[in-house]
Structure 1
C-alpha cells in the first residue's frame, strides 16, 4: 500500500510538472521606489515573441515573476527606466535588486549564472538600426565585417572568461554565443539592407544610388549562409531580432528582393500585394516553424499600427487556418478583436453628422475653405491619420460635440494626409464618430495652411484653432479637447 501511495504521488508530481507548474522564479526588488510601471516579455515555448509582453505595476518596491517550463529562456524586463535581460533555466531562482543611488552598481543579480546575468543586462545592445552611424566609415564590406566582428569578440570574451572560471554554465555560454552571433549579423544585415534600399528609390530621389556595391552583396550572401534565418534555435535569442523580424525582415524584404532583381523578377505594387508576396516568400523559403513565427510577428506588428484592418483581418484568418494550433494566436486575438470592431464600424456609410465638404479636393486656400462658415464661430482640429496624439484626443469628442452644438459653434476637421491615405482618413472619421465638417487638404491648401499657422515651416500636430463669427483667427493655439474646462471657457468668449 505504501509503495502504491509513493508511486501515485510520484506520478502526480510528473503530471503537475507536465501541466505547467512553476519551473523558475524571478524576484524584483527596487530600493527607494514603492510604485512604478513594469512590463516583461516571457518566451513562448522558449521562443522570443515580442507580442507576449505583459504590463503591470510595481507596488511596495517588490514584484515576483513565475515561469512555467515552456517560458524559460530569454526574459526581457522593463522596470521604471531600467531594462533587465536574463537567461532563465528550469530550476533557477533569480533575485534582481535595483538601487539607482548606487552609481557603481545599480543592478545586482543573485542566483544561477548571476555574474553573467549582470554583464548581459549591463551590456549595451541597442537596436541594430541605431548602430548604422557607428560603422559609417567602413566603406568596404571587408572593413565593415572586421569592425563588427571585433566588437562581437570583445563582448564574447567576457563570457568566455567567466565560463573558463566556471562562473557560468555551458547552457548560458551557448546562449550568449548564439545571441551575439545573430545580434551582430543583424547589425551587418541592417547596414547592407540600407545600401540596397538606396538602389530601389526613384532615380530623381536625392539619395538614389544606381549601383549596389558588389562586395557588400557578397558579404550579404555569406552572412545569411553563415547565420541562416531558417534556424529554430536562433528564435530563442535576443539577437535574432530587436523587435519583430529585423534579421529575417531584411532577408525577406531585402536579400530575397535583391536575388529576384538579379533574376529580373518584379515586385507587386501596393501594401496588400507586398504583404501577400512577403508571406509567400516566407513559406517558400523557410521551414514551417520559422514561417509560422515570422508570419505571426508581421501580423502582430501590422495590427499594432491600427491601419489596413480590412486586409489584416483576411491575412489573420488565413494564418489561423494554416496554423490552427499556433501558440501565437493567443497574442494576436486582442488586436484582432479591435480590428474586427473597426471593420464593422467603418464598412457602413457616413452618418448625417459626418459631413465631407463638397468639392474638397479642389479647395486650394484657407480663405476659400472658410467661405461657407462666414458669420459662424468655428472650432478647427488639424490632424492626420498617423498622428497618435490627435487620435488620443478623439476620446473627448462626445463632450466637445455636445458643447459646440449647444453654443452654435461649427466643428471643422482638417486632415493634412496625402491622397495615398484617403481611404484610411474616411475610415477614421467613421471609427471615431467625428461629427462635423471634414476636409483632406490638397498640397496647395497644406502649403497655405502652413504659411498661416506655422510660419511656412511645415506643420506640427495636433493643432486647435478658434475662428470668431466675424471670420478672424482669435486663437491660433487653443486648448486641447482633453482640457475641457479651459477650452470651453476659451471658446465661450467668442460666442457671447
Structure 2
C-alpha cells in the first residue's frame, strides 16, 4: 500500500529542545501499514492531533524534539495503545508481539524500560484499573466523609505501590516516577468523580449531596488541578479537561472575564496562567483537526494569539489551516444531503449499491470516538478501492444539524457517500442493528455485492482486522 506520511511541523519555542528517538518492531502484525502517534506539542501531551508513521519491514522509527519529559501515545492498528514516557535525548526501543499473552506481548529496552513495561501493563485493559470502583463507591455512604476519603485515597495510593518499588530499586528515574504517579492518580480521580457525579443526579437528600460534593472537591484537589505535571501526562490532561468545566466557570463567573467565548469549554479559562496556554491550545487544535463547530474558532484563536504569542500551538494550527501537517487525501466527496426521498431503510441502501461492497460508518457530529476514526480511512484507502468497496457515512444527527454536519464532513476530507439519516432510516437501523435496544456509536456494517450482511458489527477503520475482512470479500 502506498503510504502517505504527515508533513512534519516546526515548533518555535525559546526552550531548549533535544531529540528523542523511539524505534519499534511489530511481530505478527503482517498487515500493519502504519501506526498513529500523538506527538507532544511543545512539552505537553497531545491527545488530538495524529501523525502517521509508516511500518517498513515490520519496523517503525519515530523522531521528535521535546524540551522536557512527556508522555506520548502510540496506537497500533486500532488494537493496542502503547504509552511511552520520553525525555530529551532518550533512545527507546520496544517490540510488540501479536499474542493474547498480555504479560509477554510488549518488551522495552532503553530509558526506564522497567517502568515503561509496568505502566503499559497497567493500562493494557483500562477497565481493569476500575474493577474495584463499584465496591469503593459504597464508601461514600459512610456519614463520616473522612473515612470515605481515607478509603478512596488508600485505594489510589495502593495502585502505585509497584511504581514506588521500581523507584526505590533505582530501575526508574525521578522524572518517570513523578509523571507516571501523577497520571495514575489523575486517571482514578477522573473516573471516581464521574461515578460520584452520576450518583448525585439520583439523590434527593440535600445533606448527602453536599457531603458528596465535599468528597468530589477533595478528590479533585488530590489529583492536582494546578499541577503542571498533568499537562505532560495523557490521562492527566483528561482530568484537567473534566475539572475545568462550564459549571465551574458559571460558579466563578464574576472572577474571570470571557474574551474567548468557548461555549462548553469556558471552564478552561479558570486554569492557572501557567497551564492555560496548553489547555486552550488543545481545544483549538481539537476543533481545527476534528471539524466540529462548538465555538467560534476565529474569534477564540485571534485572542489566543494575542495572549500567548509564543505558544507552540500557533505554528501547528497555522500549518493545519494552510493545509499542511495533515494526511494528503483527495477531496472527492459525494453528498446525499436530502435523504427523505432517497433512503428510508437499509434495504434502500442495498438496492442503490447493488453489485458493490459497502462499508457503512454510523456516526454523529457530537461523537468524539467516531470522529477520531476518520484519519484511519487513509490507511485503508487502497484496500477499499481494490475490493470495490463504497464507504457510506450515515450520521444520526438531528436534521437541524445539517450545516454543522456538512461542514464537518468537508473538513474531515472523507471520500464516499454521506447521508444525514431521516427518522425512518434511523428507526430501521435501530431495529436491524441494535434490535431496538440502546444505540451506540461508532458502529460499522459491512455488506457484500449481493446485499448480504457480512457483519453488523464490523471492525473499525483503524483495526488491522478490517483489512483482513475486506480482502476476504
Q: Same fold (TM over 0.5)?
A: yes
Does the CA-based 8 Å contact 2:394-2:420 persist in structure 1? yes
1:421 and 2:407 correspond: no
Going from structure 1 to structure 2, the CA distance change for 1:147 and 1:297 (only over 3 Å counts) comes to farther
1:321 and 2:306 correspond: yes
Question: TM (normalized to structure 2)?
Answer: 0.61
Gaps of 5+ in 2: 1-13, 324-334, 345-350, 382-392, 454-473
The one-character-per-residue Cα deviations of 1:433-469 (angstroms, maximum 9, x if unpaired) are 99x9x99857xx67987899999948999999xxxxx
Going from structure 1 to structure 2, the CA distance change for 1:316 and 1:385 (only over 3 Å counts) comes to farther
Q: From 141, 156, 163, give the equivalent of 1:159.
A: 163
Give the number of the structure whose residues are more often helix, by fraction: 1
Does the CA-based 8 Å contact 1:43-1:70 persist in structure 2? no
Shift of 1:326: 1.6
| Secondary structure in structure 2 of the residue aligned to 1:185 | helix
Gaps of 5+ in 1: 1-17, 199-206, 339-352, 367-376, 396-412, 465-474, 478-496
Question: What is the number of residues matched between the two proteins?
Answer: 385
Deviates more, 1:292-301 or 1:30-39: 30-39
Shift of 1:86: 2.2
CA distance in 2, matches of 1:119, 1:455: 38
Q: From 36, 48, 53, give the equivalent of 1:51.
A: 48
1:69-468 paired onto structure 2 within 5 Å: 69-70=66-67, 72-80=69-77, 81-100=79-98, 103=101, 104-124=103-123, 134-137=132-135, 138-141=137-140, 145-146=149-150, 148-196=152-200, 198=201, 213-241=209-237, 246-253=238-245, 256=248, 259=251, 275-276=262-263, 278-279=265-266, 281-283=267-269, 285-308=270-293, 311-333=296-318, 336=321, 386=364, 417-418=397-398, 420-424=400-404, 441=422, 457=436
Question: Higher relative contact order by CA 8 Å / sep ≥ 6: 1 or 2?
Answer: 2
Shift of 1:20: 6.8
Shift of 1:217: 0.3
Does the CA-based 8 Å contact 1:34-1:59 persist in structure 2? no
| Secondary structure in structure 2 of the residue aligned to 1:24 | strand
Shift of 1:327: 0.8
Aligned Cα root-mean-square deviation (Å)? 5.3
| Secondary structure in structure 2 of the residue aligned to 1:47 | coil
Shift of 1:136: 3.0
Question: TM (normalized to structure 1)?
Answer: 0.59
CA distance in 1, matches of 2:352, 2:76: 45
The one-character-per-residue Cα deviations of 1:21-72 (angstroms, maximum 9, x if unpaired) are 7543222123344662312233333221223532112111222223434264
Does the CA-based 8 Å contact 1:148-1:184 persist in structure 2? no
| Secondary structure in structure 2 of the residue aligned to 1:123 | helix
Does the CA-based 8 Å contact 2:24-2:93 persist in structure 1? yes
Does the CA-based 8 Å contact 2:18-2:67 persist in structure 1? no
Does the CA-based 8 Å contact 1:93-1:112 persist in structure 2? yes
Does the CA-based 8 Å contact 1:73-1:89 persist in structure 2? yes
